[in-house]
Structure 1
Amino acid sequence: MRSVRRLLTGLSRAVNALLKGVVRAYRFFLSPWLGSACRFTPTCSLYALEALDRHGPAAGSYLAARRLLRCHPGCAGGHDPVPDQAPRLFSRLINPSSDSPHP
């Protein structure tokens, strides 16, 4: 059981590092050409990096994608920090409640 948990933890860290690498590559290569278009603070790419750090690859990717979908010319923008808690779906997957139907 420990080896499975260790394998999953290692896989999660590898996926997280890969996703953060993609965001950093965007920030280094594409962002300077595209200019500052983000309507939020922190910027969408910084938000994605923080969400991945705080909540891991699954919940962090979900939060980053949700943020990107909200960032468009018609939105007001403003201060929008990464939430302290992972979205409910992800917190239930990680820590299922004791009243779950599974034995």
Structure 2
Amino acid sequence: MIKIYQFFKKILIFIGFYKPSCRFYPSCSEYCSQTFKKKKFPKSLFLCIYRILRCNPWNKGGYDPVK
């Protein structure tokens, strides 16, 4: 599901309909993809939801790798 989202997002960026503006590096979708590769499912799901909840105007963002 994450890979499908990333694929369509790249197409929209390429044709100019979407401007990337993620507060974090790596982006939230890339972070979730990495988490599911490195952690077990329940932990990955929790980390992804927590990351998405932190993605808001009141958070600075910045470098936030999967630990």
Query: Does TM, normalized by the shorter one, top 0.5?
Result: yes
Determine which structure has the larger helix proportion and give its number. Answer: 1
TM-score (norm 1): 0.54
- How high is the sequence identity, in percent, across the aligned residues? 34
Determine which structure has more spread, i.e. the larger CA radius of gyration: 1
Asked which structure has the greater RCO (Cα within 8 Å, sep 6+), the reply is 2
TM-score (norm 2): 0.79
Moved beyond 2 Å, runs of 4+: 31-35
Count of residues paired in the alignment: 61
Q: In 2 relative to 1, CA 74–54 (structure 1 residues): closer, same or farther, beyond 3 Å?
A: same
The CA RMSD over aligned residues, in Å, is: 1.3
Helix, strand or coil: the match of 2:52? helix
Q: Which residue of 1 aligns with 2:2?
A: 23
- The amino acid across from 2:50 in the alignment is R
Q: Which blocks of at least 5 consecutive residues in structure 1 are unaligned? A: 1-21, 84-103
Q: Which blocks of at least 5 consecutive residues in structure 2 are unaligned? A: 13-17
